[in-house]
A and B are shown apart, each in its own frame.
Chain A
Amino acid sequence: MNGWTGQILRVDLTAKTWRREAFTEEFAHTWIGGRGFAVKLLYDELRPGIDPLGPENKLVVAVGPISGISAPNTGKTVVAAKSPMTGGYGDGNLGTRVTEKLRKAGYDALIIEGRAEAPTLLYIDDEKVEFLPADEVSGKGTYETNDWIYARYGKGAGVLNIGQAGENLVRYAVIRSMEGRAGGRPGMGAVMGSKLLKAIVVKGSRPIPQAFPAEMKVLGRDDLRAVHALDQKSGWSKQGTTGVLPWCNEVAALPVDNFRRTHHPEAWKVDGERLEAATVAVYGCPNCTMQCGIAMHDDRGRESELDYENMGLLGPNLGIFDIAQVATLNYMCDDYGIDTISGGGVLGFYADAVARGAAPGSLRFGDFKGFEAVLTAIAHRDGEVGGVLAEGTLRAARAFGHDSEEYAMQCKGLEVSAYNCKFIPGMALAFGVSPIGAHHKESWIISYEIQQTPRESYGRDKAQKVVDLQRIRGGLFEAIVSCRFPWIEEGWGLEHYPKYFNAVTGLEWQLEDFWPSSDRIYALIKLFWLREFPDTDRKADYPPHAWFDPANADTEGPIAGKILEYDKYDALLQHYYDIRGYDGRGIPTRETLARLGLAAEARAAEAFAALS
Chain B
Amino acid sequence: MRITVRVIGGLALRLGFTSQEREVPSGTTAGRLLADLGVGDPQTVITTRNGWGIAPDELLGEGDRILVSPPFSGG
Contact = CB atoms under 8 A, between A and B. Distances in A.
> B8, B47, B73: which has the most chain A beta carbons within 10 Å?
B73
A234 B14 contact: yes
Enumerate the 4 nearest inter-chain pairs by beta-carbon distance, A residue then B residue, closest first.
A235-B10, A558-B51, A243-B9, A308-B75
Interface stretch (A366-374, A481-489, A498-506, A599-607): A481-489
> B53, B67, B72: which has the most chain A beta carbons within 10 Å?
B72
A597 interface: no
Nearest to A272: B9
A241 B75 contact: yes
A455 B65 CA distance: 18
Given A273-B18, A451-B53, A312 B75 contact: yes
A307 interface: yes
B14 A488 contact: no
A271 B10 CA distance: 13
DSSP majority for the A interface? Answer: helix
B65 to A, nearest CB: 8
Interface residues of A, number: 47
A557 B51 CA distance: 8
8 contacts: A233-B14, A235-B13, A243-B70, A243-B72, A309-B75, A440-B75, A447-B69, A453-B53
A243 B74 CA distance: 10
Interface string B9-35: 111111000100000000000000000
A236 interface: yes
Nearest to A237: B10
> B10, B50, B52: which has the most chain A beta carbons within 10 Å?
B10
A444 B73 contact: yes
Given A558-B51, A558-B52, A485 B73 contact: yes
Contacts, number: 112
A484 B47 CA distance: 22
Nearest to B72: A244
A168 B6 CA distance: 46
A244 B71 CA distance: 9
Interface residues of B, number: 26
B9 A239 contact: yes
Nearest to A238: B10
B71 A488 contact: yes
B72 A447 contact: yes
Contacts of B51: 250-252, 263, 557-559
B74 A440 contact: yes
Contacts of A485: 73
Interface in A405-451: 417-419, 440-441, 444, 446-447, 450-451
A148 interface: no
Interface string B46-75: 111011110000000000010101111111
A357 interface: no
B41 to A, nearest CB: 11
A90 interface: no
A491 interface: yes
A449 to B, nearest CB: 8
Contacts of B48: 247, 250-251, 450-451
Contacts of B12: 235, 273
A246 B6 contact: yes
Contacts of A419: 74
